[in-house]
Amino acid sequence: MPWFRKDLISTEELSPEEIQTVFKTTAAFKKILNRKTAKTPSLRGKTVVNLFFENSTRTRVAFEMAATKLSADVMSLDMKTSSTSKGETLRDTVENIHALAADMIVIRHSAPGSAAYISKVLDIPVLNAGDGAHEHPTQALLDCYTLQEKFGSLKGLKIAILGDILYSRVARSNLWAMIKLGAEVTLVGPATLVPREFEQFGATVSHDLKSALADKDAVMLLRIQHERQNASAFPSITEYTRMFGLNKTRLSWLKENAVIMHPGPINRGVEIDSELADSPQSVILEQVTNGLATRMACLYLCSGGKAEALTGSQ
Ligand code: CP
């Protein structure tokens, strides 16, 4: 088996086989995490540096925990207090961190293409933890892994992604991954946030919530990304919730045992009724839990680890 790939920048570039390799590795790490000593020596002696130029809770903590569980040394820089505020370029920043003997870099940045750019500059693995509205590959991998765990396969699965699609890196990464795995994806929300252009990527685009939710196996809700919008795409939050917020009535439009997903952070009472976020149909916290093993898998595979080496040792 060849090396998985040096960098993880997008799901657009992954083959269905590579996605399944991530899933197989994730499953192996989930087993390891259930052991009494939930740690492996896979990255012992390596240093993983997390560079988060944008806020994060789940992704940052999951990457830190993942590297720790793999026995790596982990450094997380608060980029708000770094020398980028003194005018240093991103390239100079990462080249200096490389010069300090970092072995892998995890980066979140508001600029689309930033992770791809530094992956070309550096000869060490770079993992994209979210670049602007472009991609968030590990989020999509953990989301699709969660669906595969629930349904056995994504082939033929009918999934609605509801909300701010235009500014969402999660929507883009999930769209690529879900379609590659054989799912049927409908993007739904206000016309200002769900442009018809997405149809060229294989999605169905809808602005009618009832017909879009009908017969779906899963709905993924997205928050409104106010930080990326220059002007409001709808009159008010109250009106958005009235038109597109998931409530009990609208949940009944999906299949009976449909699952509710959300990458977080959730805005209770805006895109989702609070009680639905905590309902038995919600897999929101399972997504978060799967995020740890998924990030372990991605770090391990990009460092040159083989899925077979883990599954063979079970
Ligand atoms: N889903 C996600 O990326 O969450 P954070 O912004 O908290 O990392």
Residue nearest to atom 3 of ligand 1 (CA): 59
Q: Which of 197-206, 217-226, 292-301 has the lowest mean pLDDT?
A: 217-226
Residue 112 CA, ligand 1 centroid: distance in Å:
16
Residue 129 CA, ligand 1 centroid: distance in Å:
9
Query: Is 294 a pocket residue for ligand 1 (Cβ < 6 Å)?
Result: no
Rounded mean pLDDT of 107-122? 97
Q: What is the pLDDT of residue 313?
A: 47
Residue 207 CA, ligand 1 centroid: distance in Å:
26
Query: Is 58 a pocket residue for ligand 1 (Cβ < 6 Å)?
Result: yes
Query: Is 139 a pocket residue for ligand 1 (Cβ < 6 Å)?
Result: yes
Residue 286 CA, ligand 1 centroid: distance in Å:
14
Q: Which of 181-185, 225-229, 242-246 has the lowest mean pLDDT?
A: 225-229
Q: Answer whether residue 229 shows pLDDT above 80.
A: no
pTM attached to this predicted model: 0.96
Mean pLDDT of the chain: 95
Query: Is 56 a pocket residue for ligand 1 (Cβ < 6 Å)?
Result: yes
Q: What is the pLDDT of residue 1?
A: 58
| pLDDT tens readout for residues 116-166 | 999 999 999 999 999 999 999 999 999 999 999 999 999 999 999 999 999
Query: Is 263 a pocket residue for ligand 1 (Cβ < 6 Å)?
Result: yes
Query: Is 264 a pocket residue for ligand 1 (Cβ < 6 Å)?
Result: yes
Q: What is the pLDDT of residue 227?
A: 73
Q: What is the pLDDT of residue 2?
A: 67
3-state secondary structure the chain: CCCCCCCECCCCCCCHHHHHHHHHHHHHHHHHHCCCCCCCCCCCCCEEEEEECCCCCHHHHHHHHHHHHCCCEEEEEEHHHCHHHHCCCHHHHHHHHHHCCCCEEEEEECCCCHHHHHHHHCCCCEEEEEECCCECHHHHHHHHHHHHHHHCCCCCCEEEEECCCCCCHHHHHHHHHHHHCCCEEEEECCCCCCCHHHHHHCCEEECCHHHHHCCCCEEEECCCCHHHCCCCCCCCHHHHHHHHCECHHHHCCCCCCCEEECCCCCCECCCECHHHHCCCCECHHHHHHHHHHHHHHHHHHHCCCCHHHHHCCC
Q: What is the pLDDT of residue 138?
A: 98
Residue 284 · residue 266 · CB < 8 Å: yes
Q: What is the pLDDT of residue 312?
A: 63
How many percent of the chain have pLDDT more than 70?
Answer: 97
Confidence of residue 255 (pLDDT cuts 50, 70, 90): very high
Q: What is the pLDDT of residue 166?
A: 94
Give, for ligand 1, the residue of 59, 220, 294 to mutate: max count of ligand atoms closer than 8 Å to Cβ.
59
